[in-house]
Amino acid sequence: NAGVTQTPKFQVLKTGQSMTLQCAQDMNHEYMSWYRQDPGMGLRLIHYSVGAGITDQGEVPNGYNVSRSTTEDFPLRLLSAAPSQTSVYFCASSYQWTGVYNEQFFGPGTRLTVL
């Protein structure tokens, strides 16, 4: 199993550009989520999904869109990049969305810089 994969690993954008961060998992996990990590702020939840076709907002959803057309894939779209979106982005998945014991498996992260 590859686990959770993310592409690209690094990306530089100009303000106003759009792009999609890719996330895929091969563990048949129901639950997938996107976090951003900024210095001194831990990981903040952007969007999450409890299954194909079902998504919801997290703590910091503005400026981002997601969709979940398959169980495996959960792309994150930046609509119009801003310097405030410079961050490290992590995708994570867990087996189920119900039940509090569900360890999250993380991807390697995408380091995004917006100029």
Partner 1 sequence: AQKITQTQPGMFVQEKEAVTLDCTYDTSDPSYGLFWYKQPSSGEMIFLIYQGSYDQQNATEGRYSLNFQKARKSANLVISASQLGDSAMYFCAMREGSTGGFKTIFGAGTRLFVKA
27 forms part of the interface with partner 1 (CB under 8 A): no
Helices and strands, counts by H and E, the chain: 0, 11
Locate 112 and state its tokens: 């995004």
Q: Which of 51, 58, 61, 75 binds partner 1 (CB under 8 A)?
A: 58
Handedness of CA 16, 60, 76, 35 (dihedral sign): positive
Locate 102 and state its tokens: 């569900």
26 forms part of the interface with partner 1 (CB under 8 A): no
Residue 94: CB minimum distance to partner 1, A = 8
Q: Which residues bind partner 1 (CB under 8 A)?
A: 31, 33, 35, 40-45, 48, 50, 56, 58-59, 88, 90, 92, 97-106, 108-109
